[in-house]
Amino acid sequence: MRILACIKRVPATGGRITLTADERDIDTRFLGFAVSPHEECAVEEAVRLAEAHGGETAVLTLGPDAAADQLRDALAIGVDRAILLETDGSDWDPGATASAIADAIRSLEAADGPFDLILFGNESADSGGYQVGIRVAVALGRPVVTGAKALEVGDGRVTARRQAAGGWEVLEAPLPAVVSVREGINLPRYPSVPGRLRARKKEIERIVPERRSLGPELIRLVVPEEVTASAEILGTGPEAAPRVVEVMRELGIL
């Protein structure tokens, strides 16, 4: 089976976000980058499915030259090939991203045959548009399941589970299909040292994508006002316990 995982490079934020002077981007001068969490799981799922059913895996991203780092992270855990839709690093809207990815998939499939399964993250950690996977599926005329936290493939079908009120709902689709996954579907492995060395030597295939912007059209980013509290210090060390329990009583928790 042939599986493609589509990923996004995102800044590894943790503290308060600061913006560039034009307010159109996050100031990443002091930040590292990572694969967006849901998509890290999409890559792991692709590798696991190929291990279980045999076949080939590929990883694709739309982003700047530096996004080759995130593609190499995927190659390092066993993905066979990597494709970069190289941009200048500016923010592409979800429609433009999806049409560029759909174009690339069409040309990859024309050369090497269809992907049975195309995996996405349910939403990117940074822009959170919640639509690229669905747009790509619709453009390719394929069924799409979103939000998957468990996946099984067999008999030409994919069966996914996702969280719903009171438990899980099960959705099915015939292959070839598109599935977007959520973190928790698996625990991504760490790359081995030989894996990293292998990844460093592999060639990254590059495509120059066409940008067809659709909107929403970014005006500016805004860091929301932070509601900071001034915490009441109840004490230091285990001696604080009686005061903590007193507060719990005042709050009606005990």
Partner 1 sequence: MTAVLTLVEHGDGRADRLSLEALAFADRLAGSRGAEVHAALVGPGAAEAAGGLGGLGVATAHVIDDDRLDAYAPAAWAAGLIDLIAAEPFAAVVAPGSERGTEVLAHVAARTGGAMAANVVDVQTGERWKVTRQRWAGSLLEEAWLDGTPRLMTVAAHAVAALEPAPDATAPTIASRTPTLTDEDLRVRVTGHVAAATDRVSLTDAKVVVGGGRGIGSPEGFAMLEDLAALLGGAVGVSRVATSLGWRPHADQIGQTGARIAPDLYIACGISGAIQHIVGCKAAKRILVINTDPDAPIFGRAAYAVIGDVHAVVPAIAAEIRRVRGS
Residue ranges in 190-219 that form contacts with partner 1 under rule CB under 8 A: 214-219
Residues 67-96 that bind partner 1 (CB under 8 A): 93-95
User: Hey, what are 63's tokens?
Assistant: 């982003």
Q: In angstroms, what CA-CA distances link 144 with 59, 114, 158, 231, 239?
A: 18, 16, 10, 47, 56
- Give the contact letters, 113-152, x = binds to partner 1 (CB under 8 A), - = no: ----------x-xxxxxxx--xx-xxx-x-xxxxx-----
Taking the complex as a whole, the smallest distance from the CB of residue 95 to partner 1 amounts, in Å, to 6
Q: Is 29 in the site for partner 1 (CB under 8 A)?
A: no
Q: Is 37 in the site for partner 1 (CB under 8 A)?
A: yes
- Which residues, in sequence order, are CB contacts of 229 under 8 Å at separation 6+? none
Q: HSE, CB side, 13 Å, CA atoms: give it for residue 224.
A: 3
- Give the contact letters, 94-113, x = binds to partner 1 (CB under 8 A), - = no: xx--x---------------
Q: Is 32 in the site for partner 1 (CB under 8 A)?
A: no
Angle (CA) 97-102-103 rounded to 5° is: 100
Range in contact with partner 1 (rule: CB under 8 A) among 12-20, 54-62, 72-80, 191-199: 12-20
- Which residues, in sequence order, are CB contacts of 36 under 8 Å at separation 6+? 7, 8, 9, 10, 121, 124, 125, 126
Phi, psi of 116 (to 5 degrees): -70, -35
Residue from 110, 111, 193, 251 binding partner 1 (CB under 8 A): 251
Taking the complex as a whole, the smallest distance from the CB of residue 144 to partner 1 amounts, in Å, to 7
